[in-house]
Protein backbone atom coordinates (compact mmCIF):
# COMPACT_ATOMS: atom_id res chain seq x y z
CA UNK A 1 0.00 0.00 0.00
CA UNK A 2 1.38 3.40 -0.96
CA UNK A 3 1.58 6.33 1.44
CA UNK A 4 -1.21 8.13 -0.46
CA UNK A 5 -3.43 5.05 -0.18
CA UNK A 6 -2.78 4.88 3.58
CA UNK A 7 -3.74 8.53 3.94
CA UNK A 8 -6.91 8.10 1.89
CA UNK A 9 -7.96 5.04 3.90
CA UNK A 10 -7.31 6.71 7.24
CA UNK A 11 -9.25 9.81 6.18
CA UNK A 12 -12.26 7.62 5.37
CA UNK A 13 -12.20 6.17 8.87
CA UNK A 14 -11.81 9.50 10.66
CA UNK A 15 -13.92 12.51 11.51
CA UNK A 16 -10.88 14.78 11.44
CA UNK A 17 -11.09 17.81 9.23
CA UNK A 18 -9.08 18.49 6.10
CA UNK A 19 -7.09 21.73 6.07
CA UNK A 20 -5.73 23.04 2.76
CA UNK A 21 -2.95 25.54 3.38
CA UNK A 22 -1.19 27.55 0.68
CA UNK A 23 2.33 28.79 1.23
CA UNK A 24 2.78 25.86 3.60
CA UNK A 25 6.40 25.29 2.71
CA UNK A 26 7.76 27.94 5.04
CA UNK A 27 7.00 30.61 7.60
CA UNK A 28 3.43 31.16 8.72
CA UNK A 29 2.06 28.53 6.34
CA UNK A 30 4.38 25.85 7.67
CA UNK A 31 3.42 26.76 11.23
CA UNK A 32 -0.26 26.56 10.23
CA UNK A 33 0.26 23.09 8.77
CA UNK A 34 1.87 21.90 11.99
CA UNK A 35 -0.77 23.55 14.17
CA UNK A 36 -3.72 22.03 12.32
CA UNK A 37 -2.05 18.61 12.31
CA UNK A 38 -1.51 18.93 16.06
CA UNK A 39 -5.27 19.12 16.63
CA UNK A 40 -5.93 16.09 14.44
CA UNK A 41 -6.57 17.62 11.04
CA UNK A 42 -5.31 16.14 7.83
CA UNK A 43 -3.24 18.68 5.98
CA UNK A 44 -2.61 19.54 2.36
CA UNK A 45 0.66 21.46 2.36
CA UNK A 46 0.57 23.44 -0.87
CA UNK A 47 3.44 25.60 -2.04
CA UNK A 48 5.06 26.76 -5.27
CA UNK A 49 8.28 25.17 -3.96
CA UNK A 50 7.45 21.46 -3.90
CA UNK A 51 10.62 20.62 -2.01
CA UNK A 52 9.64 22.89 0.87
CA UNK A 53 6.08 21.55 0.81
CA UNK A 54 7.40 17.99 1.01
CA UNK A 55 9.57 18.90 3.99
CA UNK A 56 6.57 20.44 5.74
CA UNK A 57 4.47 17.35 5.05
CA UNK A 58 7.26 15.02 6.17
CA UNK A 59 7.45 16.83 9.51
CA UNK A 60 3.79 15.98 10.05
CA UNK A 61 3.85 12.43 8.75
CA UNK A 62 1.06 10.38 7.21
CA UNK A 63 -1.55 13.00 8.11
CA UNK A 64 -0.20 15.34 5.41
CA UNK A 65 0.46 15.45 1.70
CA UNK A 66 2.49 17.95 -0.30
CA UNK A 67 1.25 19.51 -3.53
CA UNK A 68 2.95 22.05 -5.75
CA UNK A 69 0.71 24.95 -6.68
CA UNK A 70 1.13 28.31 -8.38
CA UNK A 71 -1.85 30.18 -6.95
CA UNK A 72 -1.58 32.83 -9.66
CA UNK A 73 -2.52 30.24 -12.31
CA UNK A 74 -6.07 28.92 -12.43
CA UNK A 75 -5.12 25.56 -13.94
CA UNK A 76 -2.62 24.93 -11.14
CA UNK A 77 -5.18 25.88 -8.49
CA UNK A 78 -7.82 23.63 -10.04
CA UNK A 79 -5.35 20.75 -10.06
CA UNK A 80 -4.60 21.36 -6.38
CA UNK A 81 -8.28 21.17 -5.47
CA UNK A 82 -8.85 18.08 -7.64
CA UNK A 83 -5.96 16.28 -5.97
CA UNK A 84 -7.16 17.28 -2.52
CA UNK A 85 -10.67 16.02 -3.19
CA UNK A 86 -9.34 12.88 -4.84
CA UNK A 87 -7.42 11.92 -1.72
CA UNK A 88 -9.51 13.32 1.11
CA UNK A 89 -12.92 13.85 -0.47
CA UNK A 90 -13.46 17.30 1.04
CA UNK A 91 -11.96 20.58 2.18
CA UNK A 92 -13.10 21.76 5.61
CA UNK A 93 -10.60 24.55 6.19
CA UNK A 94 -8.85 26.72 3.63
CA UNK A 95 -5.96 28.91 4.72
CA UNK A 96 -5.13 31.37 1.95
CA UNK A 97 -1.65 32.15 3.20
CA UNK A 98 0.68 32.26 0.18
CA UNK A 99 1.96 35.70 -0.73
CA UNK A 100 4.92 37.86 -1.67
CA UNK A 101 6.23 41.28 -0.67
CA UNK A 102 6.84 44.23 -2.95
CA UNK A 103 9.99 46.38 -2.94
CA UNK A 104 8.57 49.01 -0.56
CA UNK A 105 9.00 51.55 -3.36
CA UNK A 106 6.95 54.73 -3.46
CA UNK A 107 4.05 54.70 -5.97
CA UNK A 108 5.84 56.59 -8.75
CA UNK A 109 8.91 54.39 -8.37
CA UNK A 110 7.06 51.06 -8.43
CA UNK A 111 7.72 49.09 -11.63
CA UNK A 112 4.59 47.89 -13.40
CA UNK A 113 5.94 44.34 -13.37
CA UNK A 114 6.21 44.44 -9.56
CA UNK A 115 2.62 45.69 -9.31
CA UNK A 116 1.41 42.95 -11.66
CA UNK A 117 3.28 40.15 -9.86
CA UNK A 118 2.25 41.14 -6.34
CA UNK A 119 -1.41 41.68 -7.24
CA UNK A 120 -1.52 38.48 -9.26
CA UNK A 121 -0.20 36.35 -6.41
CA UNK A 122 -1.55 38.05 -3.29
CA UNK A 123 -4.97 39.15 -4.52
CA UNK A 124 -5.90 37.18 -7.62
CA UNK A 125 -4.31 34.06 -6.11
CA UNK A 126 -6.45 34.37 -2.99
CA UNK A 127 -9.52 34.74 -5.20
CA UNK A 128 -8.62 31.79 -7.43
CA UNK A 129 -8.17 29.35 -4.55
CA UNK A 130 -11.33 30.60 -2.85
CA UNK A 131 -13.23 30.38 -6.14
CA UNK A 132 -12.14 26.76 -6.58
CA UNK A 133 -12.83 25.62 -3.00
CA UNK A 134 -16.10 27.37 -2.10
CA UNK A 135 -18.35 25.27 -4.39
CA UNK A 136 -17.24 22.13 -2.53
CA UNK A 137 -17.88 23.77 0.83
CA UNK A 138 -21.32 24.82 -0.38
CA UNK A 139 -22.07 21.27 -1.46
CA UNK A 140 -21.50 19.95 2.06
CA UNK A 141 -22.98 23.01 3.76
CA UNK A 142 -19.95 23.98 5.83
CA UNK A 143 -16.43 25.31 5.66
CA UNK A 144 -14.04 27.85 7.10
CA UNK A 145 -11.65 30.16 5.27
CA UNK A 146 -8.82 31.96 7.02
CA UNK A 147 -7.00 34.54 4.89
CA UNK A 148 -3.58 35.91 5.72
CA UNK A 149 -3.86 39.63 5.09
CA UNK A 150 -1.40 42.01 6.77
CA UNK A 151 -1.06 45.11 8.88
CA UNK A 152 -0.68 46.72 5.44
CA UNK A 153 -4.29 45.71 4.80
CA UNK A 154 -5.52 48.43 7.16
CA UNK A 155 -2.70 51.00 6.91
CA UNK A 156 -1.28 53.08 4.09
CA UNK A 157 2.25 53.37 5.42
CA UNK A 158 3.33 49.84 6.29
CA UNK A 159 4.48 48.65 2.85
CA UNK A 160 4.80 49.64 -0.78
CA UNK A 161 1.78 50.38 -2.94
CA UNK A 162 1.48 46.95 -4.56
CA UNK A 163 1.56 45.00 -1.30
CA UNK A 164 -0.69 47.55 0.41
CA UNK A 165 -3.28 47.39 -2.37
CA UNK A 166 -3.16 43.60 -2.49
CA UNK A 167 -3.68 43.17 1.25
CA UNK A 168 -6.46 45.77 1.35
CA UNK A 169 -7.98 43.62 -1.37
CA UNK A 170 -7.63 40.46 0.72
CA UNK A 171 -9.50 42.25 3.51
CA UNK A 172 -12.24 43.06 0.97
CA UNK A 173 -12.38 39.47 -0.25
CA UNK A 174 -12.69 38.30 3.35
CA UNK A 175 -15.64 40.56 4.10
CA UNK A 176 -17.39 39.82 0.82
CA UNK A 177 -17.09 36.04 1.16
CA UNK A 178 -18.21 36.21 4.79
CA UNK A 179 -21.33 38.17 3.86
CA UNK A 180 -22.11 36.23 0.69
CA UNK A 181 -22.13 32.82 2.37
CA UNK A 182 -23.11 33.66 5.95
CA UNK A 183 -26.34 31.69 5.50
CA UNK A 184 -24.64 28.77 3.78
CA UNK A 185 -22.51 27.45 6.64
CA UNK A 186 -19.28 29.07 5.44
CA UNK A 187 -17.25 31.47 7.55
CA UNK A 188 -14.39 33.65 6.32
CA UNK A 189 -12.02 35.65 8.52
CA UNK A 190 -8.58 37.18 8.13
CA UNK A 191 -5.53 37.58 10.30
CA UNK A 192 -3.34 40.67 10.00
CA UNK A 193 0.22 39.75 10.94
CA UNK A 194 2.67 42.42 11.92
CA UNK A 195 6.37 41.77 11.35
CA UNK A 196 6.91 38.02 11.66
CA UNK A 197 10.02 35.87 11.34
CA UNK A 198 9.40 34.24 7.97
CA UNK A 199 11.28 33.50 4.79
CA UNK A 200 9.58 36.46 3.10
CA UNK A 201 11.87 38.75 5.08
CA UNK A 202 14.74 37.59 2.86
CA UNK A 203 13.35 39.95 0.22
CA UNK A 204 14.49 42.88 2.37
CA UNK A 205 17.68 43.03 0.30
CA UNK A 206 15.54 44.26 -2.60
CA UNK A 207 13.76 47.01 -0.68
CA UNK A 208 13.80 50.53 -2.12
CA UNK A 209 15.72 52.85 0.27
CA UNK A 210 13.57 55.91 -0.46
CA UNK A 211 10.39 53.95 0.13
CA UNK A 212 11.67 52.45 3.37
CA UNK A 213 12.67 55.92 4.60
CA UNK A 214 9.18 57.29 3.96
CA UNK A 215 7.52 54.28 5.60
CA UNK A 216 9.79 54.37 8.63
CA UNK A 217 7.47 56.48 10.86
CA UNK A 218 4.80 53.76 10.71
CA UNK A 219 7.19 50.81 10.69
CA UNK A 220 8.95 52.15 13.79
CA UNK A 221 5.67 52.03 15.75
CA UNK A 222 5.89 48.25 15.80
CA UNK A 223 6.80 46.93 19.22
CA UNK A 224 7.64 43.28 18.52
CA UNK A 225 8.66 40.65 16.01
CA UNK A 226 6.32 37.66 16.12
CA UNK A 227 6.94 33.97 15.62
CA UNK A 228 5.00 32.13 12.88
CA UNK A 229 3.44 29.91 15.54
CA UNK A 230 1.68 32.93 17.03
CA UNK A 231 -0.09 33.53 13.72
CA UNK A 232 -0.93 29.85 13.33
CA UNK A 233 -2.55 29.69 16.76
CA UNK A 234 -5.02 32.44 15.81
CA UNK A 235 -5.78 30.74 12.48
CA UNK A 236 -6.59 27.50 14.32
CA UNK A 237 -8.90 29.38 16.68
CA UNK A 238 -10.73 31.12 13.82
CA UNK A 239 -11.24 27.75 12.14
CA UNK A 240 -12.50 26.12 15.34
CA UNK A 241 -16.00 25.64 16.69
CA UNK A 242 -15.07 28.07 19.47
CA UNK A 243 -15.22 30.78 16.78
CA UNK A 244 -18.47 29.50 15.27
CA UNK A 245 -20.07 32.96 15.38
CA UNK A 246 -16.99 34.84 14.19
CA UNK A 247 -17.44 35.72 10.54
CA UNK A 248 -15.98 38.57 8.51
CA UNK A 249 -13.54 39.46 11.29
CA UNK A 250 -10.28 41.22 10.45
CA UNK A 251 -8.00 40.27 13.33
CA UNK A 252 -4.71 42.10 13.94
CA UNK A 253 -2.05 39.74 15.29
CA UNK A 254 0.59 42.38 15.68
CA UNK A 255 1.43 42.78 19.36
CA UNK A 256 -0.48 46.04 19.55
CA UNK A 257 1.01 47.76 16.48
CA UNK A 258 -2.40 48.64 15.05
CA UNK A 259 -3.45 50.10 18.40
CA UNK A 260 -0.89 52.89 18.12
CATH number of the domain at 69, please.
3.40.50.720
- What are the tens digits of pLDDT across the range 7-20? 443 443 334 899 99
Q: Tell me if 155 is assigned to some domain.
A: yes
- What are the tens digits of pLDDT across the range 171-201? 999 999 999 999 999 999 999 998 887 765 5
Q: Tell me if 259 is assigned to some domain.
A: no
Of the listed ranges 68-77, 91-100, 212-221, the one predicted with least confidence: 212-221
Using an 8 Å Cβ cutoff, are 206 and 103 in contact? yes
* Cα dihedral value 18, 23, 28, 32, nearest 10: 10
Specify whether 163 is catalytic: yes
Its domain, for residue 219, covers 3-252
Q: Of these residues, 36, 88, 163, 181, which one is catalytic? A: 163
Q: Tell me if 257 is assigned to some domain.
A: no
- 3-state SS assignment for residue 152: helix
Of the listed ranges 56-60, 83-87, 200-204, 207-211, the one predicted with least confidence: 200-204
Q: What is the DSSP letter of 89?
A: S
Domain count, the chain: 1
Q: Tell me if 260 is assigned to some domain.
A: no
Q: Tell me if 106 is assigned to some domain.
A: yes
Q: Tell me if 258 is assigned to some domain.
A: no
Amino acid sequence: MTRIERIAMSSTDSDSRVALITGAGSGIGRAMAQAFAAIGARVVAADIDLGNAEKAAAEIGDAAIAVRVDISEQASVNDLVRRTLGIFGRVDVLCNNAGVLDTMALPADTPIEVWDRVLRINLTGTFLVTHAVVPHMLAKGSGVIVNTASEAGIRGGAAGIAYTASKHGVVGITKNVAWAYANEGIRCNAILPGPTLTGVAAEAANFDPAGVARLQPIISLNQSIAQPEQMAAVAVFLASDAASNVNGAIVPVDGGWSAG
